[in-house]
Amino acid sequence: MAGRHPGRAAEALEQCRDTRRLFAQDLGLDPGARLRELEKRMRDGDEDPDR
């Protein structure tokens, strides 16, 4: 997602945090391994984090 839109990594990470918070608060769920890995790749600056 962020890799396709340079400069939008901060927005993508904010969206991940918001989603994580909603899942935790509203549903009592933690993110799965795939979402955690995607978030890590975005934080690390991966050019194509959703591959």
pLDDT tens-digit readout, 14-43? 888 898 899 999 999 998 898 888 888 888
pTM greater than the 0.75 cutoff: no
Q: Which residue has the tokens 């991940």?
A: 16
By CB neighbour count within 10 A (0-12 exposed, 13-18 middle, 19+ buried), where does 2 fall? buried
Higher pLDDT, 26 or 2: 26
Cβ proximity of 49 and 8 under 8 Å: no
Among 46, 27, 30, 28, smallest CA distance to 38 is for 46
d(CA 28, CA 23): 6
